[in-house]
Structure 1
Amino acid sequence: MTLLVFYGGLSGLTYLITVYILRYRRVRSIVEKHPPSQGTDGKSASDYRMTPAEAQRIIWTSSLYDHPMLVEKSLEFALFKTYGIESISKLLLSTGQLSKGINASRRYVDTAILIQTWVHVPITGPGSGNEEPPRGADPRGAIAVARTNWLHSKYTIVGQLASNDDYLYTLSLFILEPAKWIEKYEWRSLTPLERQAYFVFWSEIGRRMGINNIPETIEDLVEWCEEYERINMVPSQTSKTVAELTTALLLYHVPPFARGFGKQAVAALCPERLNRAIMVPEPPIWVVKSIDGVLNLRKLFIRHLCLPRFSPQCFVPFDTTGLGTPGVCPIGVSVCPISSKENSNGVVYRLHPSYANNDPWYMPSPSGLGKIAAEVLAAFRMRNPKAAPGPQFRHDGYRTEELGPTSFEKSGRKEVLANAEAMYGGKITGPWAF
């Protein structure tokens, strides 16, 4: 018995040491590969210099491996935070894309796909540090930015114009919120190198979207963002309406009996200034403590007991390099590729998200055990039976250049392609050409 306890304890200790060594291996590696500028101590984000392409690869350590869930949620709440700005909420409400459930859920998923594609498809072209895209380089990132630019231009044409400061504020949240969430809730904080990488990469995305007056350092951006919020994040009925519509999407998978608590949990995750702006009462202290307690337990569990992730976790298909290679079918591709942008039947390649955020937009129809599981969940009211993958949710998948409102699906192709190729750094060919 004593021997059994000894070997059990030794095995447990060995496992804990293994977790510690492996869990920090990836972040140590990127820090070693990117030393701070000469004459600096590396303690400040501004001590590091890098190209946007290098910055993106550094970001992947946290967004794909170390903190994928928190990075995704921080970006979702970054968008939610913009609803505390009346001018932004007024614009969103005027589009009509939030007032109807199926429109709102599609906009939510389309936005997630576009953002995840910007972040996780290698950036190329002028200003990226990877000026000449290698042969066969994935163009989806450039297409996603170009599609976003085109969609924004449609609302500019009809007079629904967001100011440069509104766009800059949204961009600043994409840079700053992941670090805040990771600092508070994850098993490790971002290093100064990683914080600078978020700033450099997203600043380049901002330039590609035509956003002007981006501060030159992350420290200046923090000051600008704080001043903008102080002036513009004030109580507004419009902000309250948009926040309520979006909260319903955030709580999509929460059973009806728990949604009251879910709304309080959302409020607990929001800063006090935002709750005032969207006219939401501060949640009870026990809710705040409960949320913090659960997330802190998760932090400790992952840090000490979980081996690191060995494959990337991403909402959109991360690697489609197998496209065009006979016999290779990347996960998430609905049509097995042969050699070009269409298969022998003339069907274009489409992609599926890795999972459903709310309504199952672009998810394939389940079969076998997946279909049985869906029926069981619906029977126990854990899932809306009307929200099953099918034609109404485009179960054949998505194309990046078609994302957006239904009325715009087939519009803007020439403009999007021209803008995408300019950012990509060359002609777009292969399965994602259009």
Structure 2
Amino acid sequence: MKRFDFRDEIHRLDAEADCVRIMQILNSHEFPWDMGRALGIALYRTYAVPSIGGLLGRTDEFTGSTQKRYDDTALILGSMMRHGFEPGQGRDSLRRMNQMHRSYDISNDDYRYVLSTFVVMPVRWLNDYGYGWRTLSEHEIAAITHYYRRLGKYMGIKDIPETYEQFRDLLDAYEREHFAYTEGGRAVSDSTLDLMVTFYPPRVAGLARKFSMAILDESLIETFRYEPPSRAWRRTADTALRLRAKVVRRMKPREEPLWADNNPNIRSYPEGYDVNRIGTFPAGCPVAHDVDPVGHADLYGGDAGASGDGAEAAGSSKGAPDGAPVEASADGRA
């Protein structure tokens, strides 16, 4: 296999109809390490929004069980990407994610913002910052946009941006308006950075922490009230990531896909896991919701409710542990 064969395969595919396959190639073959870093930063950014960081701080899930929350997030998102949204593990992951989200009163604006970070940050990491061994094409950026638009639809998010540029503008405007310090957001940020350090040998833990801080932009440093990294550390981190990109460009393509399951930093499930049993299981859903994306006719067809798959998607608790909240019913209530 030649270095650009996967790129060529992507450009033979349709950016919208084949967006799942394109994302599978980008995330498991072309840029597995980079996509992991970019999406990690995407999620990290959300802690700087008080309504998000404060909620995560109050639940204590991202401070008291940081490793498990990291693992659960990576596995659920990775499972959807690996298996798509058809019946099976991918759809189970979507259902599990929606169950968790519906247990909290999360605004549509916050949902749209989080979705925008998933779309924009990989493009910024690879293209704008120059950390990719090659840049993403407009065709690939369109596929990323279509993939997350589809995911957003299945999550029941309203008024989803239609283009990458709209997602980018939404992200920038939302951060300008909403980024602010909260004790909960800072606590979640500290716990996340502490976890990142454990991914490296103890002897370089201090350097790893400085490196991690050096790749955070000024808006995050200011919002979380961290001491700004020195210009020397900024230059060192930037140079190291650009040099890595040059080295990777000369490497053979990754023929075997690398999925989240293979990530050695995911440590909570050494004996394997059932996607229906990971994540959080709050005691109940305190709010009503006006859409059931997993059982929605647009996803499974107009007769979905009459079929076995549609019936399970709309309200079954099959595979969930005793006491776990079932998926929302047809009227959109938990």
Name the SS for the 2:24 alignment partner.
helix
Contact 2:34 2:132 in 1 (8 A): yes
Match of 2:315 in 1: none
Distance 1:30 1:247 in 2: 34
Counterparts of 1:8-407 in structure 2 under 5 Å? 22-34=2-14, 50-51=16-17, 54-100=18-64, 103-124=65-86, 139-155=88-104, 161-183=105-127, 184-304=130-250, 306-315=251-260, 353-357=261-265, 360-363=267-270, 395=271, 397-405=272-280
Over 3 Å counting, the alpha-carbon distance change for 1:244 and 1:29 in structure 2 is: same
Distance 1:356 1:95 in 2: 26
Contact 1:78 1:177 in 2 (8 A): yes
Residue deviations 1:165-203, cap 9 Å, x none?
A: 111111101111111112221110111011011111111
Distance 1:314 1:23 in 2: 20
Residue deviations 1:40-68, cap 9 Å, x none?
A: xxxxxxxxx623xx111112221111101
Name the SS for the 1:98 alignment partner.
helix
Match of 2:330 in 1: none
C-alpha displacement of 1:407: 6.8
Higher relative contact order (CA 8 A, sep 6+): 2
Residue deviations 1:318-367, cap 9 Å, x none?
A: xxxxxxxxxxxxxxxxxxxxxxxxxxxxxxxxxxx323325x2111xxxx
Contact 2:76 2:94 in 1 (8 A): yes
Q: If the length of structure 2 is used for normalisation, what is the TM-score?
A: 0.82
Amino acid at match of 2:94: V
Q: If the length of structure 1 is used for normalisation, what is the TM-score?
A: 0.64
Distance 1:288 1:24 in 2: 31
Distance 1:277 1:407 in 2: 29
Distance 1:245 1:118 in 2: 26
Larger radius of gyration: 1
Residue deviations 1:214-258, cap 9 Å, x none?
A: 112221221121111100113333322210011111222234443
Distance 1:120 1:279 in 2: 37
Contact 2:85 2:94 in 1 (8 A): no
Over 3 Å counting, the alpha-carbon distance change for 1:223 and 1:407 in structure 2 is: closer
How big is the alpha-carbon RMSD for the aligned residues of Structure 1 and Structure 2?
A: 2.3
Residue deviations 1:395-427, cap 9 Å, x none?
A: 3x211111113777xx9xxxxxx9756656653
Match of 1:330 in 2: none
* Count of aligned pairs: 296
Contact 2:20 2:147 in 1 (8 A): yes
Over 3 Å counting, the alpha-carbon distance change for 1:421 and 1:311 in structure 2 is: farther
Amino acid at match of 2:265: N
Identity %: 26
Name the SS for the 1:311 alignment partner.
coil
Contact 1:174 1:202 in 2 (8 A): yes
Structure 1: give runs of 5+ residues left out of the alignment. 1-20, 35-48, 125-137, 156-160, 316-352, 364-394, 412-417
Match of 2:288 in 1: none
Amino acid at match of 1:79: L
Contact 1:421 1:427 in 2 (8 A): no
